[in-house]
A and B are shown apart, each in its own frame.
Chain A
Amino acid sequence: MGTILTNAPAEPLGTVAYATADGLLGSVWLLVAIPLVSAAVLLLLGRRADRWGHWLGVAAIGAAFVLGLTYFLQLRGLENKSVELSMWDFITVGDLRVDFGLLFDPLAAVFVLLITGVGFLIHLYAVEYMSHDTGRRRFFAYFNLFVAAMLLLVLGNNYVMLYFGWEGVGLASYLLISFWYERPSAATAGKKAFLMNRVGDAGLAIGIFIMFATLGTTQYDEVFNSVGALGATTVLVLGLLLLLGATGKSGQFPLQAWLPDAMEGPTPVSALIHAATMVTAGVYLIARSNPIFSANTTLQLVVVSVGALTLLIGCVIGAAKDDIKRVLAWSTVSQIGYMFLGVGLGGGAYALAIVHLLAHGFFKANMFLGAGSVMHGMKDQVDIRRFGGLSKHMKITWITFMMGWLAIIGMFPFSGFFSKEPIIVAAFERDDWTAWLFGMAALLGAGLTAFYMTRLFVLTFHGPKRWTEDIEQPHESPKLMTIPLILLAAGSVGAGFLLASSVPDWLTATAGLGAQQEGHHAVLSHTVITVLSLLVTVLGAGLAWFLFRNGTATAPQPAGVLVTAARKNLYTDAVNEAVFEKPGIFLTRALVYLDNRGVDGLVNGLAAGIGGGSGRLRRLQTGFVRSYATSILTGALLVVAAFLAVEAGWLA
């Protein structure tokens, strides 16, 4: 282990410098402002905007996409492809200076295009999907708010701006998960998402404070240029805290439990937030902070381990679930595991992870919207054991979903093949035995993915009908829902090759990102790995086809240890409950008990309080002056004792 856990810098760092934004790029703030204004208008106008509000929401995102594309094209012609727009000094305390500024560079640009592009299609789909919901205007307001916050997250030029966006998307996600708040499960899921995210957010906040304390700045360029001067332990702690934040937002181990529960929200929400964009914020954070993560090999090892572990957890649980959206959710957890694996490997693999992220954004949004379309036709049924044979009734949904399915399992020539296979290859390119560990994990994950996604696909669209009695004839969804599906399916087919051939070069222009690492040789040859990964994919898919082509039982069957554990989310919920929930509840109860009883108890037996008065008012009172005075006296004795102890030299 000694050779792996070296705290030495992994590679030398280049200097990071940003150019000033001028000309057209000076208006890059519009990207955030347009959706934000639209959200404000929708919320403030109230019912008056009910008739046309959703179109305003769609138009705002469309406009942002067009603008984003324009800026993207502008950027291509520039010498230094990282432009910074400083708007005003946000906080100035002593030496601390936090800039309210934006950074538009290749990394931010591809995220902007993903968020606004996929976001636009999902908005369009939601117009129809939510058409029967009385809260549609409110839904679009929250949706626009989310997009604005997400754009702020990827466009900020320092960690504090990132934190603003981070909290903003957390808030919007909370509002949208509990959108159907009248369902108790939705309200609980919203709370769970909120609390688990807070754990991650605390990590990020403390990480940012450590930056202040050690570097005196949070501007990306200044942090990246001076991170090399920090001690190895500081970098490790800083990186682990940022990683904690990233795992919270991206649903990675150990904070993965909220993401599948978040599927209680409307399906377009699952597609946009919990599949295509917000959950990738963690990957963005690590990719953006790559000079920090590259500065310490232990840190990289931790990121890789988290990615590998999560991708396997996601696969195993995904194979045991019967709810169509939950299977997709666990597959999201697993696919983001691949991205973490990629960003953790460092060097050129950063770009591979981003490529997978973009490709995943397309095919996962495609499949989520497809699932929404199936549910739309099946009276909101989500249990895949009660589907079957839908290929005849929902042709467009079937074909588009098939594109997404082939893409996610990494079948040649769909996009997943071009984005996932290089990550598997990169996992084998390590110097020691960990190459085998992570490489085999990635390979095994590919096989499992093929198995459970094929299971999902076959049970939904093929085999005998197992519908509930109330469904006579499932119907295809209206045009407004199928057109986004078709466009996203086209992306699932073609995007992979385009992205894999162009994006890595484009991303190397991001300051500090994509510095190629030389000297590593894969323990297996590239061709062998490609053949192996295709082989396990075909095996997994074939096995699932063989098992499920004739449908399945409509009720849970008794199962072995592994399947039972997987159905129970591998007992991670039980661990959360025992580790976080129980002690928290106990602490609160204990303190309340102390406040109400303990202090009073000291003087128990004395007659009623000083005020007297009616029983109604009495019940509002919890304590008596005498017990308050006792508590003050006790505190005073303790404080005096503490000071005297300091004086005697016991505490100093």
Chain B
Amino acid sequence: MTELKLPSIDYAALAPTLIMLGAALLGVLVEAFVPRRLRHVVQLTMALLAVLAALTMVVLAADERKITIGGAIAVDGPTLFLQGAILVLAAMALLLIGERSVERGGAFVAQAAVTAESADDRRQAEGKNGLTEVYPLTTFAIGGMLIFVAANDLLTMFIALEVFSLPLYLLCALARRRRLLSQEAALKYFMLGAYASAFFLFGVALIYGFTSGVPGRPAGVDFATIDAAVTNSPASPVLLFAGMALLAIGLLFKAAAAPFHVWTPDVYQGAPTPITGFMAACTKVAAFGALLRVFHVAFDGARWDFTPVLGVVAVLTMLVGAVLAVTQTDIKRLLAYSSIANAGYLLVGVLAPGADGISGTMFYLVAYGFSVLAAFAVVTLVRDADGEATHLSRWAGLGRRSPFYAGIFTFILLAFAGIPLTSGFTSKFAVFGPALEGGQAWLVIAGVLTSMVLAFPYLRVVVMMWLSEPGESTPTVAVPGGLTSAALMIGVLATLVLGVAPAPLLDLATGAAEFVR
């Protein structure tokens, strides 16, 4: 019997992930052993501390460039930048999740198992404290995302995908109000997510087949092996291209690119708003982090083959997002379609060759994450007796009722529309510039044209808020608690600062834009 050789593990490099997963496990124990009335405070504090600790470890490891734990995890510039981004955005999302003063008991259901629309359900909606299981679920999801952007082989990537997806499916079902909508969203997300995972897994199998037979290398699904196989595998290229297509589908589903975007509006609308914000910001970072790594490290040799196909997907995504946003009547669905269109712009960055494309995409992810979380924070505040008032007609005249929040929302919408001096402008600039230099002018033209279209629905909301008289049904804006205020302020300030002086973050992204292979 041969001696079992254990791979060396660099615990310091893995620390952020380990901290998050550890905190999640501790959170489960807290649910079991800490008295109910203390759980909320304990869980929230623990989750925030864990994020902070993980972020510290990321910062400390800033210059680390290595592959560890048997080639499963790569710790390099993009990994650390994206992990940092996920953690910062997740901290903001946790602030929104922990808010309990806007709605009595928080945004989450008190008992998930109560039949929707029953008398019990109505009682719980009146103000029982929400579930505290959301915190361990969220920390699990964050931990999964941290692995996802660092995964150096397709199997690790798949497992990470499931680790962060499963908690998200559950979280989507936990809205306090409109339970049916929320449960339906969760079920749809789960079924379609499972469906997409199957595509991904099938792709992994085909790629594995493709890598066998490369001289001097065993078959495998780590990125270095795939990269070597792309240039000199004796296997049929049909395996490579079919596998690459299926892998891309799995990832594009998470990224909400057309035509794999169909779940997005329903799920964004049904999920509790803080979770929607969390998905829009952090899931986007994770999905595009993985896309960057797969296409820049594993399939770089086939760049000329995948660029046209993914380019068409990008154009389609921008088009679908922008055109359908025009006719939306629900603010959460509107933001969902906007998020789809933004996925298209991000794909332009992914397809731009070289380090500039990578850094531009990473910058865009951070800038967009801040803005979209702030947008959803405002959505949580506009409410009436039945919870959030998300129908757009209800927002008419909001500028008269609460000029301050309407002003903030206007600013965020202008940022989404890419008006200069907001991060929306600089970030579009950061992805379109490298794409143009890389000879992808058609993508940039499509991007500029669709963002013109997309400006229309945003401005329609602005016009509605400011230029309509408030009606009887115009809701008031709730006074936000400290947590929401903090998240909102961070988001708005970041949107402004990244719009006026984006250079420091761009420098950081440029310095981090090289993968280890």
> Hey, which bits of chain A sit against chain B, CB under 8 A?
46, 88-94, 96, 160, 163-164, 167, 171, 178, 181, 187, 194, 198, 201-202, 205-206, 209, 212-213, 587-588, 591-592, 595, 599, 609-614, 617, 620-623, 625, 627-629, 631-632, 634-636, 638-640, 642-644, 646-647, 651-652
Contact = CB atoms under 8 A, between A and B. Distances in A.
Contacts of B117: 613-614
A592 B324 contact: yes
A636 B308 contact: no
Contact of A636 (B116, B199, B452): B199
B359 A93 contact: yes
At the interface, is chain A mostly helix, strand, loop or mixed? helix
B88 interface: no
Given A93-B356, A613-B180, A644-B242, A202 B259 contact: no
B324 to A, nearest CB: 6
Given A625-B188, A629-B192, A642-B309, A209 B180 contact: no
Contact of B420 (A167, A592, A622, A652): A167
Given A93-B433, A167-B419, A205-B448, A632 B245 contact: no
21 contacts: A91-B506, A93-B433, A198-B455, A209-B433, A212-B437, A588-B323, A588-B326, A595-B324, A599-B262, A611-B183, A620-B181, A628-B188, A632-B259, A635-B259, A636-B249, A639-B248, A642-B312, A643-B309, A644-B242, A646-B308, A647-B238
B305 A206 contact: no
B241 interface: yes
Given A632-B196, A639-B245, A592 B327 contact: yes
A640 B244 CA distance: 8
A640 B246 contact: yes
Interface string B500-517: 011100110010000000
Contacts of A167: 419-420
B467 A187 contact: yes
Nearest to B390: A620
Given A91-B506, A181-B467, A213-B441, 7 more contacts: A92-B507, A209-B436, A611-B187, A623-B262, A636-B246, A638-B259, A640-B249
Given A613-B116, A647-B305, A632 B323 contact: no
A55 to B, nearest CB: 23
Contact of B249 (A93, A164, A209, A635): A635
Given A212-B433, A636-B249, A646 B449 contact: no
Contact of B184 (A46, A187, A610): A610
A588 B322 CA distance: 10
Given A623-B266, A636-B246, A644-B242, A88 B184 contact: no
B360 interface: yes
Contact of A213 (B187, B240, B259, B437): B437
Contacts of B269: 620
Contacts of A634: 259
Contacts of A638: 259
B90 to A, nearest CB: 27
List the 4 closest A-B pairs by CB distance, nearest first: A635-B259, A611-B184, A613-B180, A628-B262
Contacts of A631: 259, 262
Contacts of A213: 436-437, 441
B265 to A, nearest CB: 8
A646 B305 contact: yes
A628 B356 contact: no
Contacts of B432: 209
Interface residues of B, number: 76
A90 B500 CA distance: 7
Interface string B297-313: 00000001110110011
Interface in B310-337: 312-313, 320, 323-324, 326-327, 330
Contacts of B11: none
Given A93-B359, A592-B327, A621-B266, A629 B445 contact: no
A93 B352 CA distance: 13
A629 B191 contact: yes
User: Main SS of chain B's interface residues?
Assistant: helix
Nearest to B312: A642
Nearest to A624: B188
A610 B192 CA distance: 13
Contacts of B237: 647
B158 interface: no
Nearest to B391: A620
B430 interface: yes
Nearest to B444: A209
Contacts, number: 171
Contacts of A209: 432-433, 436, 444, 448
Contact of B503 (A89, A623, A628): A89
Interface string B246-271: 10110001000011101101100100
B441 to A, nearest CB: 7
B429 A91 contact: yes
Contacts of B323: 587-588, 591
A644 B421 contact: no
Contacts of A635: 249, 258-260
A516 B180 CA distance: 76
A49 B221 CA distance: 67
B39 interface: no
Contacts of A194: 459
A90 B433 CA distance: 14
A646 to B, nearest CB: 5
B157 to A, nearest CB: 19
Given A646-B309, A647-B237, A96 B262 contact: no
Contacts of B507: 92
B506 to A, nearest CB: 6
Nearest to B355: A94
B436 A92 contact: no
Given A614-B180, A639-B249, A91 B241 contact: no
Contacts of A643: 241-242, 244-245, 305-306, 309
A651 B503 contact: no
B436 A613 contact: no
B510 A94 contact: yes
Report which residue of A212, A614, A617 has the largest number of chain B beta carbons within 10 angstroms of its beta carbon.
Answer: A617
Contacts of A652: 304-305, 308
Nearest to A589: B327
Contacts of B241: 643-644, 646-647
Contacts of B196: 632
Contacts of B312: 642
A160 B507 CA distance: 20
B449 A202 contact: yes
Interface in B159-218: 178, 180-181, 183-184, 187-188, 191-192, 195-196, 199
B436 A591 contact: no
Nearest to A609: B184
Contacts of B313: 639
A639 B506 contact: no
Contacts of B258: 635
Contacts of A181: 467
A629 B187 CA distance: 13
Kindly name the residue among B306, B434, B437 whose own CB sees the greatest number of chain A CB atoms within 10 A: B437
- With most chain B CB atoms within 10 A of its CB, the pick from A93, A588, A620, A652 is A93
B339 interface: no
Contacts of B445: 206
Contacts of B502: 90-91
